[in-house]
Amino acid sequence: MSQPDLTITLKLFAAYQEAYGISQISRNFPSQTTVKAVLETLIEEHPELEKWREVTRFGVNFQFVEADILLQDGDEVVFIPPVSGG
């Protein structure tokens, strides 16, 4: 019996948004997917994001979380690299 997929919304900021050219993506992942696994997928698709791996913060449903949290169907995941402005 296969595990059901999760559909999550990814909110992208700064370098992540620049890499994808959009600010939001809806994606399917297998159940038992962590935030870290989603990050790995983004880096595989856009290797230029590798330099942000260790400094990116994560949010799920408006709360900061660690990378090892398991995602649930319908979650909104935010990737927040350091930003500077002026």
Task: Give the global pTM.
Answer: 0.89
Which of 74, 76, 36 shows the shortest CA–CA distance to 56? Answer: 36
What distance lies between CA 68 and its chain's CA centroid? 12
**What is the pLDDT at residue 60?**
98
Check whether 39 has a pLDDT greater than 90. Answer: yes
Task: Retrieve residue 23's tokens.
Answer: 């600010």
Lowest mean pLDDT among 29-33, 46-50, 81-85: 81-85
**What is the pLDDT at residue 1?**
46
36-to-1, 10, 43, 67, 73 alpha-carbon distances in Å: 25, 13, 11, 5, 16
**What is the pLDDT at residue 83?**
73
5-to-12, 13, 56, 58, 73 alpha-carbon distances in Å: 21, 25, 25, 21, 8
